[in-house]
Amino acid sequence: MRPGGQLLLEFRNVHTHYGSLHVLKGVSYEIHEGEIVSLLGGNASGKSTTMKTVLGLVRPTEGTVSFRGEPIHALRTSEIVKRGIAPVPEGRRVFPRMTILENLEMGRYTRRTEPGGDEELERVFSLFPVLRERRHQLAGTMSGGEQQMLAIGRALMTRPALLCMDEPSMGLAPRLVEEVFDIIRAINEQGTTIFVIEQNVNMALSIAHRGYVLQMGEVVLNGTAQELLENPLIQKAYLGGT
Amino acid sequence: MTVRALADRWRGLTVARRRQILAPVLLGVGILFPLVTSNAGNVDAAANAFTYVLLALGLNIVVGFAGLLDLGYAAFFAIGAYGYGIAASGQLRPEWSNLWAPLEWAGQVSRLAMPGQPATVQFHFSFWPMLAVSAIICAIFGMLFGAPTLRLRGDYLAIVTLGFGEIVPVVARNWEGLTNGAQGLGGIRTPKLFGFDFGFSPYPYYFLGLALAAVGVWISIRLQESRVGRAWMAIREDELAAGAMGVNHVHYKLLAFAMGAAVGGLGGTFYVAKLTTATPDMFTFPVSVMVLVMVVLGGLGSIRGVVLAALFVAFLQSVILQDLTQYVHVLGRVVGSPFLQRVELITSLELIFGLILVLMMIFRREGLWPAVRRVSALTREQQAAAPARGAAVKLSWAHPPVAGGSAHPLLQLERLSKQFGGLSAASDINLTVHAGELVSIIGPNGSGKTTLFNLITGLIRPDAGNIRFDGQDIAGRPSHEIVAHGVARTFQNIRLFNNLSVLENLLVGEHVRLEASVLGAIFRPPRVRAEERRAASSALEVLEIFGNRLLPRLDHPVYGLSYANRRRTEIARAIMTRPKLLLLDEPAAGMNPVETLELMDLIKALRDLGITVILIEHKLDVVMDVSDRVVVLDHGVKIAEGAPAQVRSDERVIEAYLGRRRRTA
Amino acid sequence: MSAFDVLFQQVINGLALGMMYALLALGFTMVYGIIELINFSHFSVFMTGTFVGLVVLSLLGVTPGSASLTGVPLVGILVVLFAVTMATTGLLGVLIERICLRPVRHVSGTAPMITTIGIAFILINLVLLTWGPQAQRFPQLLPNWRWTIGGAEVTFKQVVLFAVALILMIGLSHLVRRTTLGKAMRATAQDADAARMMGIDVDRVVVLTFFLGSALAGAGSLFFGLYYGFTGYYIGYTTGLRAFTSAVLGGIGSIPGAVLGGVFIGLTQSLGGQLIGVKWTDVIIFSILIFVMVCRPNGLLGAQTPRRA
């Protein structure tokens, strides 16, 4: 997919607080249609707060978050999701005592009255054959990798414009991580813009077009994936050093 | 002097001084009241009100101090009542045997011989020893009813206590041999003092009630401001953190139930001695709710609040609603409404209770007269004379290691493993930390660092492996025991006792180093007073380490502190336990670079004082600077260990943080 | 009647009773599943339902003195009675949620439960002040037909009420398992934040749950009135504790568990009453409750581990 299209999601000088703790300190990101953008950073850098802010689970104390030019930071989560942003939450958060099919149905909740649900289901099943096989199985009984597939599939059910993924590699064996990232790239090639929050720098930058590096709530580096990979400061941002 | 000036004067006094003034004044009012009022009905109502005060004080211990929602409190009221009732009435008539002879000699029972029938025992136990016996029996039942609830969460605990609260009146209704069933006990003997029989006049009961209520208030205040009270409040605020500071939650929860039940039992004995009857209907669920209403209305944990609320509810019942009803009747005649002329407001008492509960919970959860924030004994001068930053860190109990001495292994982890639902949080970890070292544990998110801390401090049990501290095997022991051995910790997301002040938080840290028990707390012998003074000066000593950050905020409740100060308070609290080993979980999170440097200096200073430190941190540049040794975890496995510089350039470490490079382009 | 016959009779009685407890337990467990709240006021809503039923019936011209009905009039009145009562109690539940419980929903600790105790007291006393403390006779709508099976008797009442309860439960099951709305309810109960991320309006789901649960309580209340022939301001209390035990026994938050638990407690009540004595029933049931809570908090079918400490 050719990146560099229209501006889809924009953070402008966003600050957030957690009680008296200043978490995000004036961060700005731009995500254009068709791109894969990766948000990187160590722990306590503000990555998951970013995701929560996109989804409206955390409200910025300053700054704006816009989607297709319209501010969304004051909207409820259900409104935000309706506009075309779908989340793949950290830790998957599948509904454990519902079947795969039911989970996918929940993914389509905001478009439940519109036709086309069966097509989307087919699309997801072709991306993840294992889900088709196990479609009547309870989600809680699946392995971590399978749950990750389900979480991604669930998010795709509304054919979102923007997919927000929070730490897709967490808790997965390395081989599975590669598989997941291959799938992410495939989804992007089919037209979905993707915002990936990830701790695993190498994996993330191997599929992303651009990236931002967060450290202690501030963006310290940004650029194309290539630029970032070659930048020695990345190591410093993660490990600290002289 | 104007009212405003008087009020200012009052506020300037310390709590101790205020009490010295208030106590005799209130007692004086209490003693004069019956002499001043001409209406014996008022005295009777007031005497009954004292029962309510006792019940409210008792429940306040369980719910207010310890945070255990007891919905069946009337059970203890009942046990205290029936206990005395059975002992002082003709209900039980066991057959005479010589075992009863000593009690007969003591005047507590008589031998009743009717012609043609075997001799039986007639009970007439004296009221005064029965007060104590009642309290003890109720305390035992308190522990019995409390024991099943120990591991339950708040709402389940409440239901179980509700269940017991129901079983007691049902037993009273159905065990007719013991309690005379639904008809209840009658003919309960009234107390006698030096030959004077209390009889049916309200006056002696009034003074007795006043004395009991005063004793109840005194015990409550003493408990609240003691090691026991602080332990209760710590459990109420955060049971997990309380355990991590050495508070044995089983012991203290049972103690709370016991003390609360004992006070309720006193109320029961007093009430029934005055009423001379006891029926099961006097102890049903609405009675438990009424006591709850008193505590909620007054303020959970607020002694003056619950006393005032108890008096209010008592007078609502006996006086206020009656008077209001008269007015409503008059209004009804004026307006011409037959309904208003007939209404009896007393029947809406429970409706009022329901409204109070709902309104208080929605609008004013802390109660109408919440506990007053205690001004500590520090004068303003002492608070201001705090050393500036960079002052030398000294702790009177810490012993810097002898120079040149060999460091012995303090903490040894051997093949330590723990799985959570298939995911390995700790995999065969081996680690030795020597006395006096400063070791840092680093690793990406989810690598098992906090799990390691939780294993060492007893929050979770290992699946396999050993943990040895100072030669002792501590794996799987409860956290409060481990604290006593000398291991203390802080938490990644800060677990302070939010509604307690900075000083109170610290004093909980001192819990294991103090010894006062319940009796010590109540009576405050010199040993206990000395202990408390030492604890306070320990706290000041520790606070001084943080310069002028925390000292000016000694009495502030910690929920109002800045994030950095909350972190500092948590560290200070851990230091109060006088640890040999201090585990700090991301202590610098949320601090700016300057604050972080300050903190690292402090940690180094603690190490220099002989405290061994293990640090979990993410700011690796910071860790590199202070650590003797760095250990790296990834996915529960130790992947590197060594000097900071060496670890930092280790390929495996870099890969763990940044992720493995893709094998396919 | 032989001993077996007596037992069989009690089993029949117990099953019928059990359906009433199940209806009541269902509403309670649904609310708990969604917001982890022990809603004491649920059982007062149940009690209020019987009085609503009385009012509805009197508006329809049926009084405690009226003769029982058969055929079309009976069916018609039953439908109207159930529909109106259930709608009213459902609305009452929604009112309670919106006015009293939403403000304390996010408060940790026991404040929410204390609020529900307060609401229960308010309801009970409003009813008490309006109708007085005496028991009220409930119209004997259903004719007193009986059939014998083996050595035991089954009454028409039991059959009708059993059937109605079954229909309602099947309806609920269909709603929860097959409709999108029902699935949204289950999703919210399992992970409210993830449900939000799916675009589910959690607040609306909570309101709907309260409505359904309270409506079921209304059905259970009519069951009580029609079965026992009387009601009073105090019935929420004992019946409530039994329904509560049913919910906990079956596994709090589990819908099939509530049904299972209800039947179990119903059987316990009738068999226990027969074998040990009616006056000890409360103690037996409370003991079961305490035992389950302490030793097996998940109950028989519950998968939801009580999280909030």
pLDDT in tens, C51-83: 999 999 999 888 888 777 888 888 899 999 999
Cβ distance of A57 and C191 shorter than 8 Å = no
Q: What is the chain C residue with the closest CA to A80?
A: C199
Q: Judge if A184 and A230 occupy the same domain.
A: yes
Query: Is residue A1 domain-resident?
Result: no
Cβ distance of B586 and A199 shorter than 8 Å = no
**B143 close contact with C: CB closer than 8 A:** no
pLDDT at A143 over 80: yes
Cβ distance of A202 and B657 shorter than 8 Å = no
User: Which residues of C, range 245-264, sit inside 8 Å of B by Cβ?
Assistant: 248
Q: For residue range C266-305, what is the model confidence (pLDDT) as tens digits? A: 999 999 888 888 878 888 888 898 888 888 888 888 765 4
Q: Judge if B471 and B583 occupy the same domain.
A: yes
Most confident of A184-188, B103-107, B658-662: A184-188
pLDDT at C109 over 80: no
Of B423, B618, B622, the CB nearest to A43: B618
Which tokens is B152 given?
A: 């339950």
Query: Is residue A224 domain-resident?
Result: yes
Q: Which residue is associated with the tokens 């699309």?
A: A123
Query: Is residue A89 domain-resident?
Result: no
Q: What is the chain C residue with the closest CA to A160?
A: C198
- More confident position, C103 or A242: C103
C-chain residues near B353 (CB < 8 A)? 118, 121
Q: Judge if B589 and B452 occupy the same domain.
A: yes
Q: Determine the Cα–Cα distance for residues C266 and B190; give it in Å rounded to an integer.
A: 46
Q: For residue range C166-193, what is the model confidence (pLDDT) as tens digits? A: 999 999 999 999 999 999 999 999 999 8
Q: Which residue is associated with the tokens 């001068």?
A: B381
Q: Determine the Cα–Cα distance for residues B301 and B220; give it in Å rounded to an integer.
A: 10
Q: Judge if A104 and A166 occupy the same domain.
A: no
Query: Is residue A2 domain-resident?
Result: no
Q: Judge if B540 and B648 occupy the same domain.
A: no
Domain boundary among the residues A159, A182, A199 is at A159
Q: Tell me, what's the ipTM?
A: 0.91
Q: Judge if B77 and B118 occupy the same domain.
A: no
C-chain residues near B296 (CB < 8 A)? 114
Angle, helix C235-250 to helix B154-174, in steps of 10 degrees: 130
Find all residues with CB under 8 Å of B215, minimum gap 6, and list them: none
Question: What pLDDT is stored for residue B324 in this prediction?
Answer: 86
CATH of residue A231: 3.40.50.300
DSSP class of B378: -
Closest residue by Cα to residue C262 from C237, C288, C290: C288
Query: Is residue A92 domain-resident?
Result: no
Q: What is the chain B residue with the closest CA to A240?
A: B621
| Amino acid letter, residue A78 | S
Q: Judge if B276 and B410 occupy the same domain.
A: no
Closest residue by Cα to residue C155 from C165, C140, C145, C166: C145
Q: Judge if A15 and A74 occupy the same domain.
A: yes
Query: Is residue B372 domain-resident?
Result: no
Query: Is residue B446 domain-resident?
Result: yes
Q: How far is A21 from chain B (nearest CA, A)?
A: 6
Q: For residue range B434-479, what is the model confidence (pLDDT) as tens digits? A: 998 999 998 887 788 999 999 999 999 999 999 999 989 999 899 9
Q: For residue B104, what are the domain limits?
A: 94-124
Question: What pLDDT is stored for residue B320 in this prediction?
Answer: 86
User: Which residues of B, range 602-621, sit inside 8 Å of A by Cβ?
Assistant: 618-621
Residue A240's pLDDT band, with cuts at 50, 70 and 90, is: low
Q: For residue range B150-189, what is the model confidence (pLDDT) as tens digits? A: 988 888 899 889 888 988 998 888 888 888 888 888 888 8
Residue A103's pLDDT band, with cuts at 50, 70 and 90, is: very high
Q: Determine the Cα–Cα distance for residues B650 and A74; give it in Å rounded to an integer.
A: 46
Pairs across B and C, CB distance < 8 A: 116
Q: Judge if B422 and B545 occupy the same domain.
A: no
Question: What pLDDT is stored for residue B110 in this prediction?
Answer: 84
Find all residues with CB under 8 Å of A227, minimum gap 6, and list them: none
Q: Judge if B474 and B524 occupy the same domain.
A: no
Q: Judge if A113 and A207 occupy the same domain.
A: no
C-chain residues near B71 (CB < 8 A)? 117
**A156 close contact with C: CB closer than 8 A:** no
| Amino acid letter, residue B549 | R
The share of chain B scoring above pLDDT 90, in percent, equals: 51
pLDDT at B379 over 70: no
For residues B549-570, average pLDDT: 89
**B556 close contact with A: CB closer than 8 A:** no
Q: Judge if B107 and B142 occupy the same domain.
A: no
Cβ distance of B152 and C294 shorter than 8 Å = yes
Q: Judge if A154 and A169 occupy the same domain.
A: no
Which tokens is B29 given?
A: 């009012």
Is the Cβ–Cβ distance between C14 and C267 less than 8 Å? yes
Is the Cβ–Cβ distance between B616 and B453 less than 8 Å? yes
Domain boundary among the residues B543, B576, B609 is at B576
* Site from A18, A24, A25, A43 to mutate, B interface, most B CB atoms within 10 angstroms: A43
Find all residues with CB under 8 Å of A20, minimum gap 6, and list them: B562, B563
Domain boundary among the residues A110, A128, A159 is at A159
Cβ distance of C112 and B292 shorter than 8 Å = no
Q: For residue A106, what are the domain limits?
A: 98-159
Of A76, A77, A93, the CB nearest to C191: A93
The share of chain B scoring above pLDDT 70, in percent, equals: 95
Q: For residue range B275-319, what is the model confidence (pLDDT) as tens digits? A: 988 999 899 999 999 999 999 999 999 999 999 999 999 999 888
* DSSP secondary structure, B532-549, as one string: HHHHHHHHHHHHHHTTTT
Q: What is the chain C residue with the closest CA to A79?
A: C199
Q: Judge if A77 and A143 occupy the same domain.
A: no
A-chain residues near B665 (CB < 8 A)? 206
Domain boundary among the residues B299, B315, B331 is at B315
Chains sharing 3 or more CB pairs under 8 A with chain B: A, C
Chains sharing 3 or more CB pairs under 8 A with chain A: B, C
Chains sharing 3 or more CB pairs under 8 A with chain C: A, B
Q: Judge if B219 and B189 occupy the same domain.
A: yes
pLDDT at B256 over 60: yes
Query: Is residue B27 domain-resident?
Result: yes
For residues B548-577, average pLDDT: 90
Question: What pLDDT is stored for residue A1 in this prediction?
Answer: 44
Q: How far is C243 from chain B (nearest CA, A)?
A: 13
Q: Judge if A179 and A153 occupy the same domain.
A: no
Most confident of B123-137, B152-166, C39-53, C130-144: C39-53
Q: Judge if B54 and B176 occupy the same domain.
A: yes
User: Which residues of B, range 125-144, sit inside 8 Å of A by Cβ?
Assistant: none
pLDDT at B385 over 70: no
- More confident position, C142 or C41: C41
Which tokens is B353 given?
A: 């209770």
For residues A44-64, average pLDDT: 90
Q: Judge if A69 and A35 occupy the same domain.
A: yes
* Site from A51, A58, A76, A95 to mutate, C interface, most C CB atoms within 10 angstroms: A95
C-chain residues near A76 (CB < 8 A)? 201
pLDDT at B383 over 80: no
Cβ distance of C198 and A110 shorter than 8 Å = yes
Cβ distance of C184 and A95 shorter than 8 Å = no
Which tokens is A209 given?
A: 């077009």
Of C122, C282, C287, the CB nearest to B351: C122
Q: Determine the Cα–Cα distance for residues B391 and C262; give it in Å rounded to an integer.
A: 68
Q: Judge if A219 and A174 occupy the same domain.
A: yes
Work out the mean pLDDT of chain B and round it to a whole number: 88
Domain boundary among the residues A159, A176, A201 is at A159
Q: Judge if A151 and A170 occupy the same domain.
A: no
Q: Judge if A26 and A50 occupy the same domain.
A: yes
Residue C307's pLDDT band, with cuts at 50, 70 and 90, is: very low
Q: For residue range B52-64, what is the model confidence (pLDDT) as tens digits? A: 999 999 999 999 9
For residues A79-100, average pLDDT: 92
CA distances from C187 to A106, A113, B610 (A): 8, 18, 53
Neighbours of A79 (CB within 10 A): 14
The share of chain C scoring above pLDDT 90, in percent, equals: 65
Q: Which residue is associated with the tokens 């077009």?
A: A209
Q: How many domains does chain B have?
A: 5
Work out the mean pLDDT of chain A and round it to a whole number: 89
Q: Judge if B164 and B211 occupy the same domain.
A: yes
Q: Judge if A175 and A118 occupy the same domain.
A: no
Is the Cβ–Cβ distance between B606 and B392 less than 8 Å? no
pLDDT at A230 over 60: yes
- More confident position, B664 or B277: B277
Q: What is the chain C residue with the closest CA to A82?
A: C199
Q: Judge if B73 and B8 occupy the same domain.
A: no
User: Which residues of A, range 160-179, sit inside 8 Å of C by Cβ?
Assistant: none
Backbone region of residue B561 per phi and psi (left: phi > 0; alpha: psi in -120 to 50; beta: other values):
beta
Query: Is residue B345 domain-resident?
Result: no
Q: How many domains does chain A have?
A: 2
